[in-house]
Homo-oligomer: A and B are copies of this chain.
Amino acid sequence: MFFSTLEINRKGKYLYKQIYKQVKEGILAGCLQSNEKLPSKRKLASKLDISVNSVTNAYEQLLAEGYIYAVERKGYYVENITEFIVKEDRNKNSIPDDLKEETHAKEGWLSFSHMTSDISLFPFKEWMKHQEKAIKNHKVELTEIPHAQGPYVVRETIAHLIKLSRGIHCEPEQIVIGSGTQSLIRNLMSLQRTGTVIALENPGYPRFYTMLKKTGLNVRPIQLDEDGIDIAKIEESEAQFVLVTPSHQFPTGKIMPISRRIELLNWSVKSDHRYIIEDDYDSEFKYETDNIPSLQSLDRNKRVIYTGTFSKTLLPSFRISYMVLPPEMLRTYRNHWSDLIQESNTLGLYTLHYFINSGDYSRYVKRMNHHYEMKRKLLIKHLRAQFGANLYIEDIPAGLHFIASFRTTRSYEEIAGRAKQEKLEIYSMERFMLRNKETMKNRIDLVIGFAHIKEEKIPEAVERLRRIMS
């Protein structure tokens, strides 16, 4: 009965698919009964005047998906198929409006974002050359799931690099590569008991703040004093961990002096299982003097967990960061997370490996250090010329951003609105106050990043800023 209604469009492609589809729909619609016998392939083929092969293919597909079953030497029968329950019709909508995204590009915008790096001098040619080498030499590794901590040779290269550049003492075993510092710290801290206290710098990095809270930790923002995080307040908080940015505090830009560093290191040994997480996110860029040695290089008690990233020296879109775990912490980490798959692209990691070992990396960082120093100076010059006495810049020559305080009667909210109108991406200090969002009267503090903006666009961006503040 049903089979006499089958229709074949001879001009259409794939005759077997036409049969497959109609029989499938017939079964789902209940036009064919459970255990009903299908016509033999030969019979159906001759009836529809098509090849037996087409019917065979259709029956095989129906069989593979479980619409029919075969009984040896007897033929094919319709399976006993449960009826669908449909609660809502999925076709009647796409997605609710509140979930839709704006997709138009930010045409004409300029940016003082602190989250970017400068791509204009990136040596893509060299990068590609090293990538080709990586493909040629690591075919086997490319077909496999990477080592949980990242390929050993890449960790060797990073260990060597940070020994030279940051004075880090470590073996490749202690390095865990990951797609970002946030993700690495998340993995590390999710080993800790719910409610473990971690102290953060305030103002600080809100992405860490929310992530750590969501990981179940008791997160305690500690107000900074002149020299950085307040040790007495850390003691008071009963923190077991403290996360700091000693080379260039985020966002204030301050450098933690040696005395505070020693106090912090001493705090870590005054009780068992205390650890300092040093986020050395942009320490490669230091102007006028040499780089500031890392906190880890001063630690003689294995209490510093060091994290570094290639997001600033290369590109944030590459997603390559790493952390260096003290041995005890490494053991715990491996016991817990041996099954966690490495997030970073192996090809990118081997490319980085050759990029560093060829010396191209150091040359590029040196070049960018100079480039950023010039750009920073130029921007500060333009800002001072434009705002004069209405501007104060805490001029700490390091990193890829600085804090600028503007005298203005406008509120943070007004400034945000006007920045949107002027198409200028800015981030105000308010955003980084993890607690105590008190703001000064007649004053707006901005975190000004200078990595993204092109030199020739600086005057225009500063002019927009003037219009926003005035």
Contacts and interface: CB of A to CB of B under 8 A. Distances in A.
A7 interface: no
A430 interface: no
Given A265-B84, A301-B87, A259 B79 contact: yes
Contacts of A88: 300-302
B346 A317 contact: yes
B345 A318 contact: yes
Contacts of A67: 257-258
A262 B327 contact: no
A262 B79 CA distance: 13
A300 to B, nearest CB: 5
25 contacts: A61-B290, A64-B292, A65-B258, A65-B292, A79-B258, A81-B258, A81-B262, A88-B301, A91-B300, A99-B327, A103-B152, A116-B145, A124-B135, A144-B316, A144-B317, A145-B311, A146-B317, A146-B319, A179-B345, A182-B340, A190-B214, A210-B339, A211-B340, A317-B346, A317-B347
Interface stretch (A35-43, A166-174, A405-413, A435-443): A166-174
Nearest to A293: B65
Nearest to A320: B345
Given A90-B169, A95-B330, A317-B346, 4 more contacts: A64-B288, A87-B300, A100-B173, A128-B131
Given A207-B339, A331-B99, A452-B143, A64 B255 contact: yes
Contacts of A99: 173-174, 327, 330-331, 334
Interface string A72-95: 000000011111111111110011
A343 interface: yes
A221 to B, nearest CB: 16
A299 interface: yes
A283 interface: no
Interface residues of A, number: 110
Nearest to A94: B171
Cβ-closest 5 pairs across A and B: A66-B257, A317-B346, A179-B343, A66-B258, A82-B262
Nearest to A34: B259
Contacts of A144: 113, 115-116, 316-317, 452
A271 to B, nearest CB: 11
Of the listed residues A89, A143, A452, the one surrounded by the most CB atoms of chain B closer than 10 A to its CB is A143
A327 B95 CA distance: 6
A116 B293 CA distance: 42
B128 A266 contact: no
Contacts of A311: 145
B318 A89 contact: no
Interface in A285-322: 288-290, 292-293, 298-302, 311, 315-319
Given A340-B182, A343-B180, A317 B142 contact: yes
Nearest to A116: B143
B142 A119 contact: yes
Of the listed residues A17, A103, A261, A343, the one surrounded by the most CB atoms of chain B closer than 10 A to its CB is A343
Contacts of A81: 258-259, 262
A65 B315 contact: no
A378 interface: no
A225 interface: no
A214 B293 contact: no
A343 B116 CA distance: 16
A236 interface: no
Interface in A250-296: 255-263, 265-266, 269-270, 288-290, 292-293
A117 interface: yes
Interface in A187-230: 190, 206-207, 210-211, 214, 227
